[in-house]
Every structure is written in C-alpha cells, then in structure tokens.
Chains A and B, each alone.
Chain A
Amino acid sequence: MLWETIKLAVQSILRNPMRSFLTILGVVIGVAAVIAMVTVGNGSSAQVTTDVESLGANLLTLRPGQDRMGPGSDQGGAARPFDLDDIDRILDQIGAISVAVPTGSQTIVAVFEGENYQTTVTGTQNGYFEAKDWALSAGRLFSSSEESGKTACIIGQTVREELMGSADPIGRKIRIDNLNCTVVGLLEAKGANTFGQDQDDTVIMPFKTFARRIAGSTDVSSITLSVRDGYSTDRAIDDLTNLMREIRRIQPGDDDDFSIRDTEQLANMLGSVTSVLTGLLSAVAAVSLLVGGIGIMNIMLVSVTERTREIGIRMAVGAQASQVLLQFLVEAIVLSALGGVIGIALGLAMGAIGSSMLNVPFIPDPGTIALAFGFSAVVGIVFGYFPARAAARLDPIEALRH
C-alpha cells in the first residue's frame, strides 16, 4: 500500500508539473544554498591549510616588539633589534631548531636594461630557502664568499618576468639601488600566499651584503627559524622564549619585548575564521530551507482545498481517513525530497563553479549532503502533516458537494 501511495503521489505531482516545480523551488534553493556554502567553505579551509603549509613547514618568525593590536602596539618600533650573535646562540643552545637565519627587507626599484620594477629585496642566508621549503628552478644558492659580503642575488619568478620576460636570468646583472648584482639563482614559482601577496615578487641577496650596502647596519630586524622534524613546535617556542628573555635580560614578571609567530598558529586562526564564516552562511541558508518548507505547506493547503472533490470521491469509493492522510503526507514528502535531490545537484554544481572561481579545491561533504536530504524530507513531514490532516478530516458529503 505504501509503494502504491508513493506511485499515486508521483502521478499527482506530475499531473501539475509547473505548480509542483514552484512548490519545491523554495526547498531547492534552500538545499542548494546550504550545499554550495558548505562545499565552498570546505574548499576554502583546505586552501588555507595548503597556503599556510606553502609558507614552509614548522616555520617560526622571531621579531622584536610585541605582536599585538590596539594601544601600545607601536612599542615594536622601540624594541631593540637582534644581532647575528643572537642567531649563533639560538643554534647553539636549542637543539630543536635546525635553521635560524637573519632576514631584513626593503622595497626597492630593480633595474635591468631600462626596465624598472619595484619589488621587495630581502637580505638573508641560504638557510632561508630550507626553512621556507623553497627550491631553485635554475642556478645555485649563494657561495660562501657571496654570503660573507659579495653582491649576488636570487630572484623570484615575478621579478624575472617583469624585468626580462622569459629570458634566462642566470649570470645577468640587475641594478638594485646603487648595487650591480649578478643573478645566480631563480626561485621556483610559489604563487600568492594566504593574504593574496605574491611570494614570487622578491629579490633575495646575502644578508651581509644587504646589511652593509642597503640597510646600512648589521641589525637583524627579524629571524626566520625552522623546527627540526619530529620536535614539538610548542617546546621549541618555549625554549626560544626563555633563551631570548635571558639574552635580552628581561626581568621575571616583565613582558617579552619580542614575539614569535608560527605557521601552525596562523593556520588554526585562519581555519577558525573560515569555519565561522561557513557556519554563519550555512545558518542563513538553513533559514531559507525553512521558508521553503512553509512554501510547501502553503501549496499543499491550497491543494487540499482545490482537491476537496477528489478527496470526496476517494472517500466515497472506500478510502479511509488514514489513507487520505497518508496520500497527502507522502505527496508532501515526495515533493520536498525531490526538491532536496534537485537542490543537492544544483548546490554541488554551484559549489563546483564557486570553488573554481575562488581557486579553491572542490570538496563535497557527504555528511552535509545526507543531512540536507534528510532535512528536506523532514520538512515534507512537518509541513505536509497539517494539510494532510485537514484533507483527512473532510466530511465526504461536503467534499463531494464542493
């Protein structure tokens, strides 16, 4: 009988395809919105994780001053910079740190055969590439004589394109400030980071060269560190904090005058922002699903009124109240489940388009799909029950006279 009822429901839905479509439109949109939101949200989360990993695994950055917002945040400028001795002591005393290199950056115009291009020039050491997990696509790292103060540079893909197009940059000289700098290496493309900054827009030169010839001081404005595989990042941060407090003679109870940032923390923070946003948007979408359910109830109520005579005929030929109730209830459930299925298909399509537009991976979530389908069926039951009961309660004589 139930199967028979489902077939009857499908027949009755197909008898009026336009109205059936409009009835389920609300549920279709609601389900599609939820699925699309969650799919794009998942993709974004995954993208954030990949992006942060591309910054380099187990990467720590040590900066002078406190990394905080609001009043007093300018104290960073007042805090003492580091020096090269600090780096030696870190490598010497903390076994968990595999790489510690100084970094300093300035924005400078690079010139090559009449082409000008403003880029970020960073002074650092070979360990920087290891810490950032960044390989060369051509050329070599700095030699030891270059590291001790000669001019040489390694450039990113963007700088190469801007200055010399697709030509081989190795051995060419570019002018940075008043330095004539031989290009010894070309970095692999890394793309934009999480903040949309082009990581390939960079020129890297030995730290000592940068300090003497560009910055004019050997102060170290930040230190890039890498935690050895298999060691706890949290432990390494604790050890580093203690050592830096000791080096910088900070009294117990006083605040640190430096800050340590790690990529894992960044990943967690960005991930939680993404999931809050996804949750919020999904909640809005869920409300539209509810509105869709009310739409179904509305049409089903109208349908009961319109089909009063049909109900009377069915009762006259022997349908019991419970069978009429079941018929209308099943009709509502089939309608909203159909809406759910169409919505899921539409949502996945929208999710796929959205993901490719935002350049994030397309990750459909089976749990959400099952939930959306279940929810749309429940919408059918809840909002179909009231009209169905109204139909079942009709008096057959009145219904036939209608």
Chain B
Amino acid sequence: MDSNGPIVRLTDITRVYGKGEAELRALDGVSFDIHRGEFVSIMGPSGSGKSTTMNVLGCLDSPTSGQYLFNGVEVAGLDRDQRALLRRHYLGFIFQGYNLLPRTTALQNVELPLIYKGMGRDEREARALAALDKVGLAARAHHDPSALSGGQQQRVAIARALVGDPEVILADEPTGNLDTKRSVEIMELMVELNRAEGITIVMVTHEDDMAAFGSRLIWMVDGKVESDKAIERAA
C-alpha cells in the first residue's frame, strides 16, 4: 500500500452492458484520482454514468476494462468475495433510500458491518453507540427505523457507514429524499466527518446546493468526465 499516493486512481475505466446492437457504454474511459481527505461531489444528467462510477468505486461492480487502484492495489480484477472484503474493511455506504434493516433497532443496524468484521458483542455495541453519538442519535439507539424521521434514518445510515472506520464513504444521493433543512443538516454532518475524522467522501448528487458542500466537483456526461475542478467551500 502507498499511503502517500491517491486513495483512488481510475485509469480509462469502461463499463459496458449488453452486447452487439444492444450494447450500452455506461462508462467510456473514465480517469481520475481521489486523494485522502477530499470531499468529491459527482454530478451529471441522468444516464451520465455517475451511479455506475459509484458502483465501481464501491466494488459492487467490476469495470469491463481499465485500471482501478485502491490504495495503490489493483482491484478491477478481484472476485466477489475479495470485493466483499474490501468493502468490509475500507468502505462505507450511504444510500438515497437509507437502506436500514426494518424491524431492527438503530443500534443493531449500526452494528451490522462490525458483525462481519467478526467483532465481539460488547465492543460492537460500544462502537455502534459511539457512532450513533457522533450523528447525534445516541438517545434513539433502541428505536426501530420506522419510528424515526427520514433525516434521523439517514443519520443512522451515516453512523453505520462510519462505524467500521472506513477510508472512504460513498454517498449516493444522500439527501435525495429529504427537505432542504434536513438536507443541510446531513451535509453539515458529512462535512464534519470529512474535516474532523479525515474520512474521504465521494458523493453523487443532482442538487447544486449539496454539491457545493464538497471540495471538488466532477461533472459527467455520456459516461465521460466533462469537467473536474476544485470548488470554494460554502462554509
């Protein structure tokens, strides 16, 4: 591992669905680096490949061709189980629809990644509580998701993403289901994590206001990176 190089380096990544006439090039030669501590916003019209990029970054999907170095290690050719291990130890996910387990308390939801890390019950609970505390929901640890508001559910999801001390958190339209006030709260929380914990964040969004919380904006069109520039932080 190379801790001085970029945490993520995509080189000429393509992702092609289908074959022949029905071929769809979702990603068509995407290249960029992401460095430790960055907060990258990815924007673009629908069908521009931003979600596919996230799937590739999150090791949920393998690129058809190209090179993906994570921490200097080639991951494009990893099999399913190896990718699962990479997600388990280095990545955290935040989704638009929160994706919490129903009929499962906030605490148990946050514990989930730690179970797969093989952590003992007591340590798991302590860490999950600490993570919930960071997102301001320690008091709601024993509530079911159904008893929480959308903003609170997303904060539980953020606690779940950060509980395993990931290198990178991948957020796919994290404020897509929230009103402006809650959205800003969530973004402020993410900025806080980025600054205080030094967690690298990559976020897909289609809202300019939300993208503006990041330190860098990648604009994608038709499976290609059209522009990539640093942005002046709103805060």
A residues with a Cβ closer than 8 A to B are 1, 4, 8, 11, 15-16, 309-310, 312-323, 396-397, 400
Contact = CB atoms under 8 A, between A and B. Distances in A.
Nearest to A323: B116
B55 interface: yes
Q: Which of B113, B115, B160 is packed against the most chain A CB atoms within 10 Å?
A: B115
18 contacts: A4-B115, A309-B99, A310-B101, A312-B99, A315-B60, A315-B84, A315-B87, A317-B113, A317-B116, A318-B88, A318-B89, A320-B80, A320-B81, A321-B84, A322-B81, A396-B60, A397-B60, A400-B95
Contacts of A309: 99
Interface in B75-125: 80-81, 84-85, 87-89, 93, 95, 99-101, 103-104, 108, 112-113, 115-118
B8 to A, nearest CB: 18
A318 B58 CA distance: 11
B38 interface: no
A318 B81 contact: no
Nearest to A310: B101
A319 B60 CA distance: 12
A313 B58 CA distance: 13
Contacts of A314: 112, 116
Contacts of A319: 84, 88, 116
A323 B85 CA distance: 12
A287 to B, nearest CB: 35
A225 B101 CA distance: 80
Given A317-B93, A317-B113, 18 more contacts: A11-B104, A11-B108, A15-B104, A16-B103, A313-B99, A313-B101, A315-B84, A316-B60, A316-B93, A317-B160, A318-B84, A318-B85, A318-B88, A319-B116, A320-B80, A321-B80, A321-B84, A397-B60
A8 B111 CA distance: 12
Interface string B218-229: 000000000000
Contact of B88 (A4, A317, A321, A322): A317
A400 B99 contact: yes
B33 to A, nearest CB: 24
A314 B93 CA distance: 11
Interface of B: 55, 58, 60-61, 80-81, 84-85, 87-89, 93, 95, 99-101, 103-104, 108, 112-113, 115-118, 160, 164
Contacts of B81: 320-322
B103 A15 contact: yes
Q: Which of B61, B80, B84, B89 is packed against the most chain A CB atoms within 10 Å?
A: B84
A15 B101 CA distance: 11
A328 to B, nearest CB: 15
A317 B112 contact: yes
Contacts of A11: 104, 108
Nearest to A16: B103
B47 to A, nearest CB: 15
Nearest to B114: A317
B93 to A, nearest CB: 5
Contacts of B115: 4, 8
A46 B228 CA distance: 88
Nearest to A8: B115
Contacts of B108: 11
Contacts of A317: 87-88, 93, 112-113, 116, 160, 164
B82 to A, nearest CB: 9
Nearest to B99: A313
B112 A320 contact: no
Contacts of A15: 103-104
Q: Which of A1, A318, A321, A400 is packed against the most chain B CB atoms within 10 Å?
A: A318
Nearest to B118: A1
A16 B102 CA distance: 11
B98 to A, nearest CB: 10
A321 B81 CA distance: 7
Nearest to B113: A317
B32 to A, nearest CB: 21
A396 B93 CA distance: 13
B116 to A, nearest CB: 5
Given A1-B118, A313-B101, A318 B87 contact: yes
A210 to B, nearest CB: 83
A273 B24 CA distance: 73
Contact of B113 (A8, A318, A323, A396): A318
A123 to B, nearest CB: 81
A316 B88 CA distance: 8
A310 B98 CA distance: 12
8 tightest Cβ-Cβ pairs between the two chains A and B: A318-B88, A317-B113, A320-B84, A318-B116, A15-B103, A320-B81, A318-B87, A316-B93
Given A15-B103, A321-B81, A316 B117 contact: no
Contacts of A321: 80-81, 84
Contacts of A8: 115
